[in-house]
Every structure is written in C-alpha cells, then in structure tokens.
Structure 1
Amino acid sequence: MSSPYEGLQQWVEQLPELVQPLGVAVAAMIPYVEGEGAAGIGIMLGVNPVVAAVAAIVGNFLSVLAVVAISSRVREKVVAGRGGEGGDSGYASPESSTKRAKGQRRLQGWLNRFGVPGASLLAPLALPTQLTAAFFTASGVRKERVLFWQGIAIIMWTVVIAALATGLVGVLGW
C-alpha cells in the first residue's frame, strides 16, 4: 500500500457518487468532527474537495440549526416559567457565570469581549459549533443572529481546513 488510507479510499470510490457527500454531511453533524473535520476526512478519502466542503458545511449547519431551534424553545419555556424575566438582549449576567464550567466561562468571556461575531469565529478553536450555538441561544442571543454568525464560522473554518487538506493530499500523494 502506498498510503495508509488506500483501503478506505478504494471503498469510498466504490460508493455511488450521491452517497459520498451524504457520508461527509452526516460526519459533519458530529460535535468535534464538525464541517472542517468531515471535509478533511472526505478529501483524504478521495471525495472531490469542493463537494466534500459543501457537504460538510451543509451537514454542520443543519445540526446547528436543529440545536438552535431546540434550545430556543427551551429558553422560551424557561423564561416564561420565570414570569418573563430576562429579555432577548443578548447576554447572561456575569454573576451567573461563576457557577458555570470552565468552557462555559471561557465562552461567556469571549461573548462579552468580542460579541457574537467574534465569539462565533473564535469558538470553533475550543468548542463544537453545536455547543456554542446552544450556549448563545440559552444566553438570550436571538436565534437569527446565532445562525448567521455560526454559519459564517462554519463556512470560514471548513473552507480553510478543506484548502489545507487539499494541499496536504497533493503534497503527500494520497
């Protein structure tokens, strides 16, 4: 075998062309794999880089869309149960962050410091987009804003990693 992935590449090549991007999209729905991981894996396994990137973006975004829809409904019920406390302004109070886990405190700090755009673009370095989106929505950020900036982050990171993976595959001859 000339590459460690040769057997998997041959198996992927035998799959119908429609199934290949579906597999990449499903992989992109998995937290921590995300769009960038799924695109990179798809490219290394022989899926066309553009097809892999688009499928990964779509799969990752669909999972974020589902998480935002669910967490938005949960937040609405919680707020209604409290008698309408907490507006749709955007952020949780700093006092509430003292009881949160380390990752939640870090994300709240990014949200306070960089706003939704900056935190959305930085968060994939540490947390899955699904968790980030749920946190933002639970914090009171409007779901449309969360979806817009998470979409931008998914596209940006997936394209960057797909470009790097395409170059890596070319250099290593996979």
Structure 2
Amino acid sequence: MYESLQNFTQSMPEALQWVAIILISAIPFVESYLGTAIGVVAGLPLFVAVPAAVIGNFVSMFVLVQIAYGARRKIKGEQPPLSPRKQKIKAMFDRFGVPGVSLLGQWVLPSQITSSLMVSFGASKNAVILWQSISILLWALGFGVLAHLGVTTLLEA
C-alpha cells in the first residue's frame, strides 16, 4: 500500500505535488507539521515537503492575521466574552507573550487561529507574523524529520 501511494505521487507532475502539499498545509489543524509528514509519507523528498508545507501554512496564517488586524482597528469597542479555548490562549499570551504562544500554542489551537487571536488581544502584527513564521518552520522541520525517520525505518524492516 505504501509503495502504491509513493508510485501514485511520483506519477504526478512535480508542480502538482508542491501545490497539493501547499493546499493541505493551509488547512487549520493540518498545518505545516502534518502537511510535511503527509508529503514525506506520500514519497516527496524532505526538501520538497517542508518548504511546500511552510508556504501553505504561512500564507493562510498571514491572511488571517491581516484580517484580524483590520477587524481590531475597526472594532475598538467592547469585545464579547471569550470561549474556554480562547481563554486558554489569552492566559498563555499573558504569561508567555507572542514567542511562547507562537511556539507552544499549536498544542491548543492551529497557528492560524492563535495568530489571529494574539492580534485581537493587541499583540504587534509584525511580531506575530515573525514568531508564527519561526514556529511554522520549526514544527514542519520537526515533523518532517520524524516522518522521514519513520518511513526509513519502515522501509528497512
């Protein structure tokens, strides 16, 4: 089954392989880390899967940060009460700041949501984009290496 998946992936044009990983990684809860792992398991080289997943995750995060920033500038009045999950992010934000939430917040919510929330809490848009970009890259590399090692181990067994 694994070989069939890899053969199918390799039969597609390289540009389509990139586009597929970019689109998958733009989805919240899939993001760069699972997008990279999916790419590696499907047979893409790590040096293709990581950049494609990072691009997809970054673009979706960037667009949502811009939307949240614009909404915050327009709505400076009273905010509705936060849901329990948003309260967790707010507590993390108050305790760890933008770097901490960017690097650790993906355990609670996707980067697209945490980045939008941080901007809505008043964090600097540029700081959020910078730290989320670092986080997206680190998570993609980490999961990509793990997926590569897993695939290599399975093939050797």
Q: Distance in 2 between matches of 1:172 and 1:140?
A: 47
The share of aligned pairs that are identical, in percent, is 33
Q: Which has the larger radius of gyration?
A: 1
More helix by share: 2
Say whether residues 1:151 and 2:148 are aligned partners.
Answer: no
| Gap runs ≥5 in structure 2 | none
Kindly provide the CA deviation profile for residues 23-50 of structure 1, in whole angstroms up to 9, marking residues without a partner as x: 1111100000000000000000001111
Say whether residues 1:123 and 2:105 are aligned partners.
Answer: yes
Kindly provide the CA deviation profile for residues 95-145 of structure 1, in whole angstroms up to 9, marking residues without a partner as x: x79x32121111111111111101110001121000001101111112101
The count of corresponding residues between Structure 1 and Structure 2 is 156
Q: Distance in 1 between matches of 2:106 and 2:59?
A: 16
| Gap runs ≥5 in structure 1 | 86-95
* Cα shift at 1:51: 0.8
Do 1:21 and 1:47's aligned partners in 2 also have CA atoms closer than 8 Å? no
User: Quick one: which of 16, 27, 32 aligns to 1:19?
Assistant: 16
User: Quick one: which of 3, 7, 17 aligns to 1:6?
Assistant: 3
Q: Provide the aligned C-alpha RMSD in A.
A: 1.7
Q: Taking structure 1 as the reference length, what is the TM-score of the superposition?
A: 0.85
